[in-house]
Structure 1
Amino acid sequence: MIRILLAEDEEAMRTYLARALENAGYSVVAVDRGTAAVPLLEAEDFDLLLSDIVMPEMDGIELAQVCAEISPKTKVMFITGFAAVTLKASREAPQAKVLSKPFHLKDLVLEVERVFGHQQQALI
């Protein structure tokens, strides 16, 4: 099963995204900030880091850079509600997909499926 580490500081969004991904057949571990994600990346294997970009303590771009150092096989996808931040993410982490809020949960699942090059058998 594909394991996703979700870093999202907004509780309602974190719960919403985790539930959608779990319903689509993914294993999800959710944290509320980048600094909480780092020890998990060091201790466990994740297939995907799905991170908000704007978060307290450590933003998603910094988190992605740390992830690349300690878990280079983990793919990265960003979510953000800020267009200017999307441009920064594209420059600083060009291999990462950026999904801009608002988006439909179906679109999130499709993007995750594209990252892994296959279709999960689930409906949202």
Structure 2
Amino acid sequence: MTKILLAEDDDSMRTFLASALRRAGHDIQDYADGETALQALEREVFDLLLTDIVMPGLDGIELARRGAELDPAMKIVFITGFAAVALSSGSPTPAGAKVLSKPFHLREIVEEVDKVMAA
């Protein structure tokens, strides 16, 4: 079972993703903003950070950067409608982070999580 921290400010998207990943057998803790997600990263160890990029306050890129500093072994997947931002060469995204562009099917997110964790 993969322990996943999900950070997504859209309530319906967060509920949708958390439910699908739980049904796939993963242990999910979900948060509506980057600040509370970072507090969780400071308290616990997660196998995977699954985060939206555009969130008010602490955005997903900064959350991932800080999370990678706390635990360099944690895998990171961004879920975003703004993939070009995450993929730009000047973007401070952690090395090895993956990007899954919205919209996507639940099957795709579950497959991507499985693929990232198997790597």
**What TM-score, normalized by structure 2, do the two folds share?**
0.92
Calculate the aligned-residue CA RMSD, in Å: 1.7
* 1:111 is aligned to 2:112: yes
Name the structure 2 match of 1:17: 17
Which residue identity is paired with 1:61? I
In structure 2, relative to structure 1, the CA distance for the partners of 1:5 and 1:84 (3 Å cut) is: same
* 1:77 is aligned to 2:77: yes
* 1:100 is aligned to 2:101: yes
Moved more, 36-45 or 79-88: 79-88
CA positional deviation for 1:45 = 1.1
Structure 2: stretches of 5+ with no match in the other structure: none
Name the structure 1 match of 2:32: 32
The answer to whether the 8 Å contact 2:83/2:99 transfers is no
Name the structure 2 match of 1:121: none
The answer to whether the 8 Å contact 2:52/2:78 transfers is yes
The answer to whether the 8 Å contact 1:6/1:29 transfers is yes
User: Moved runs in structure 1, 4+ residues, more than 4 A?
Assistant: none
CA positional deviation for 1:21 = 0.3
How many residues matched?
Answer: 118
Separation (CA, whole Å) in 1 of partners of 2:20 and 2:28: 10
Separation (CA, whole Å) in 2 of partners of 1:82 and 1:105: 19
* 1:54 is aligned to 2:54: yes
CA positional deviation for 1:90 = 8.5
**What TM-score, normalized by structure 1, do the two folds share?**
0.88
Residues 44-94 of structure 1 show CA distances to partners (whole Å, capped at 9, x for unaligned) of 110000000000001111001100111222110000012432333894324
Identical residues among aligned pairs (%)? 54
